[in-house]
Amino acid sequence: MRPGLGRRLKQQAIEIAFPRAAGSEGNERARRIVRDRLVEAGLRVEEQSFSYDLKRAFRAIRWTLRGAAVAVGFSAALAANRPGVASLALVAGILGGAVLLCWAPGAEKLYAADGPTSTANVIGRRPASGRRRKTLVVLAHYDSKSQNLTFPWRMGATILAIVGTGGLALCLLFRMLPVEIELPALVGQVGGALAGIALVMLSTLRNENRSPGGIDNAGSVALLLELARELPDSIPPDIELLLLSPSAEEDHMVGAMRWLSRNLATERAGGAEIVAINLDGAGSPGRAVAMQWFGFGQRFGPTIIRAAREASTALSIPMRRIWLPPAVGVDAIPFVHRGIECVTFSSGSLGRETMAVHSAKDVANNLCERSLENVYRLVHETARRLTT
Ligand SMILES: [Zn+2]
C-alpha cells in the first residue's frame, strides 16, 4: 500500500537530509537526487551551474557591524558629558547598521562575480502547450548550512543590539529635549556597551557545513518534488510550469539571483505574467505560514496572498500570515526586487525545531508529517487558484 501523503513527504525529505552546503560533495549528491526525481516526474530537466565568491559580502558585513559597534560604544562613553557628540555617533552607528538590514537590490552587485564556490540550480519544466498564458514558478532551495552561532545566540544578540541601542537613544533624547524626565546615565552606558558587544559577536558569524537541513530545507524540497509529480495534471495546459530548486540560498540567495539574471528575459518574452511560490521551512511543527511582508512594509505578493487565504478557508487549513524581519533572507526577495510576486510558504513557530535551524540538530526527524501535508495541500490549492 502507498503510504499517506505526510509520511511520503517525510520519507522524501529524509533522502536528502544530509549536510549539503553549496560547493560541498553533499551538495552535488543532493542535486543529483533532485534532478533524478524531477526527471522521473516527466519534466524537462536542466541544470545551470554557476560560481561565486562570498568573501566581499562577508567582509562588507563584518566591517559594517564592527563600525556600528565602535560608534555605539563611543556614543555610550560620551553620553553623560557630551550628549550632542554622543547623539551624532549613535546616528552614524544606526545608519551603518540599517544598511545591513535592507536587502537593497543594489547589494546584489556584491555577488555578481564568479569565484571559488561552484554549484548549480536545477530546473524542471512542463512547457505550456500552445500560447503561454502565464508562468508559474514553484521553488525550494536544496542547499543547507550551519553557522557558528546558533539561532538562539543570533536572535539574542540581535535583540540585545536593538534594545541596548534603544536604551541609549532614549537616554540621549531625554537629555537633549526640554523635558523634566531624565533616565540615569547608567542606562545609556550599559545599553550602549551591551549593544556594542552584541554587534561584535554578530560580526563573527560564519557559515559551515554541519547541518543536515531537515526543516531548512529538506521538507520543502520534498513538497517541491511531490508538486512536480502532481501539478502538471492539475493546472491548465496553457500554463508554463517551472519547478526550480536553487542552490546557494544559504549564501545570501545567490542561486535565485543567478537564475533570475540568466533566465528572466527569456521567460518574460511573449509577455505572459510570471508568479512564483517559494517553499522554505515547511514541515516545522505547527500552523501553515505565508510570508506577507518583509523589510520595512514591503509586500511579497498581494495576489498570491489573496489566493492563499481563499485556499486556506476552502480547505479549512489555518494559515498564519507573517512579516519577515529585516536582515533575514529568503529566495522570494530577489524575485520581488524584479517585480515578480513571490510568496514564501512555511510552517511552525519559534519552537525547538525552528531553533535548531542552521545547526547540526536540524535533522529530518524534526519534520512533522501533518504540517508537511497541510502546507502541501495549501500550496497545491493556491497554485490551482492562481492559474485557473
Ligand atoms: Zn532555507
**Predicted model pTM:** 0.92
Cα of 220 to ligand 1 centre, how many Å?
9
Cα of 282 to ligand 1 centre, how many Å?
9
Phi-psi region of 4 (alpha: psi -120 to 50; beta: other; left: phi over 0): beta
Cα of 143 to ligand 1 centre, how many Å?
8
At residue 287's C-alpha, the angle toward residues 351 and 223, to 5°, is 100
Among candidate residues 237, 261, 249, the one with its CA nearest the CA of residue 328: 249
Residues 247 and 378 in one domain: yes
Total number of domains in the chain: 2
Which helix or strand (DSSP H or E) is residue 306 part of? helix 302-315
Residues 265 and 118 in one domain: yes
No. of helices (H) and no. of strands (E), the chain: 12, 11
Q: At what angle do helices 369-387 and 5-16 cross, to 10 degrees?
A: 100
Among candidate residues 116, 115, 118, 110, the one with its CA nearest the CA of residue 22: 118
Cα of 314 to ligand 1 centre, how many Å?
28
- What pLDDT shows up at residue 104? 67
Q: Are 199 and 66 in contact (CB under 8 A)?
A: yes
* Domain finish residue from 202, 237, 265: 202
- What pLDDT shows up at residue 174? 85
3-state secondary structure of 292: strand
- Please list the alpha-helical segments (H only) found in 46-150: 55-78, 83-101
Kindly provide the b/e burial profile for residues 192-224, where b requires at least 16 CB atoms within 10 angstroms of the residue's own CB: bbbbbbbbbbbbebebebbbbbbbbbbbbbbbb
Which phi and psi angles does 178 have, rounded to 5°?
A: -80, 65
- What pLDDT shows up at residue 80? 83
Cα of 329 to ligand 1 centre, how many Å?
8
Residues 313 and 349 in one domain: yes
CA 314 to chain centre: 28
Cα of 370 to ligand 1 centre, how many Å?
20
Residues 34 and 89 in one domain: no
Residues 338 and 303 in one domain: yes
Mean pLDDT of each 10-residue bin along the chain, 388 residues long: 86 98 98 98 98 90 91 90 89 80 72 94 96 97 95 89 91 82 81 93 93 98 98 96 98 96 94 97 97 91 98 98 88 96 95 93 97 98 97
Residues 238 and 371 in one domain: yes
Q: At what angle do helices 185-202 and 55-78 cross, to 10 degrees?
A: 170
Domain residues for the domain of 245 are 5-52+113-147+209-387
The grid coordinates listed for 353 are 525545531
* Domain finish residue from 165, 187, 202: 202
Q: Are 275 and 379 in contact (CB under 8 A)?
A: no
* Distance in Å from the first CA to the final CA of the chain: 33
Spatial separation of the C-alpha atoms in residues 151 and 353, rounded to whole Å: 11
Residues 227 and 354 in one domain: yes
Cα of 216 to ligand 1 centre, how many Å?
5
The answer to whether position 108 is within a domain reads: no
* Domain finish residue from 202, 221, 245: 202
Cα of 98 to ligand 1 centre, how many Å?
23
Residues 324 and 307 in one domain: yes
The grid coordinates listed for 184 are 540615569
Where do we find the cell 492562481? 386
Q: Any idea what DSSP says for residue 138?
A: E
- What pLDDT shows up at residue 180? 75
Cα of 223 to ligand 1 centre, how many Å?
14
* CATH number, domain containing residue 292: 3.40.630.10
Beta-strand pair 239-245/298-299: unpaired
Residues 74 and 23 in one domain: no
Cα of 13 to ligand 1 centre, how many Å?
14
Residues 160 and 238 in one domain: no
The answer to whether position 132 is within a domain reads: yes
Cα of 237 to ligand 1 centre, how many Å?
31
Cα of 147 to ligand 1 centre, how many Å?
13
- What pLDDT shows up at residue 56? 85
Cα of 280 to ligand 1 centre, how many Å?
5
Cα of 146 to ligand 1 centre, how many Å?
11
- What pLDDT shows up at residue 102? 64
